[in-house]
């Protein structure tokens, strides 16, 4: 699954749009603060200061963002469904009220 996400990030040129993404587009903050090499992400940044999409910090960040986006989409879908049901109920109520108000037509011979 991560390979597909990584491909989308590359195609969308994510780091050109959001160069401040910690762990994906720049060194993770803990590499600068601690200066230790215990973090595997820090080790992968040392030889070449390039983008680090396979870094664990990048994966965590992206999955957290996708989860937040999913919640936002879920809220929008639930809200729109509720609104559509309310509109349908109002339509049915209007039709029933008109039928009750109209006098019954008599059949004339």
Across the 109 residues of the chain, what is the mean pLDDT of every consecutive 10-residue run? 86 84 76 61 61 83 90 96 97 91 64
Query: What domain range is 58 assigned to?
Result: 2-71
What total number of domains does the chain contain?
1
CA–centroid distance for 26 within its chain: 23
Q: Taking a C-beta distance cutoff of 8 angstroms, is the pair 60, 95 a contact?
A: no
The pLDDT value given to residue 45: 64
In a domain, 15, yes or no: yes
Within a domain: 63: yes
pTM of the complete model? 0.62
Residue 82 lies in a domain: no
Q: Is 37 part of a structural domain of the chain?
A: yes
Q: Ramachandran region of residue 55, left (φ > 0), alpha (ψ -120 to 50) or beta? A: beta
DSSP secondary structure code for residue 37 in this structure: S
Residue 80 lies in a domain: no
Within-domain flag for 103: no
User: Is residue 90 one of the residues assigned to a domain?
Assistant: no
Q: Is residue 105 part of a domain?
A: no
Please, which residues have CB within 8 angstroms of residue 67's CB and are 6 or more apart in sequence? none
CA–CA gap between residue 73 and residue 83 (Å, rounded): 15
């Amino acid at each position: 699954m991560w390979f597909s996400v990584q491909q989308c990030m590359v195609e969308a040129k994510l780091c050109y749009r959001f160069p401040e993404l910690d762990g994906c587009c720049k060194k993770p903050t803990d590499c600068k603060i601690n200066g230790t090499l215990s973090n595997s992400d820090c080790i992968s940044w040392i030889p070449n200061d390039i983008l680090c999409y396979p870094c664990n910090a990048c994966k965590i960040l992206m999955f957290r963002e996708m989860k937040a986006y999913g919640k936002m989409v879920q809220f929008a879908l639930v809200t729109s469904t509720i609104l559509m049901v309310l509109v349908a109920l109002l339509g049915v109520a209007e039709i029933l009220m008109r039928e009750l108000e109209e006098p019954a037509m008599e059949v004339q011979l």
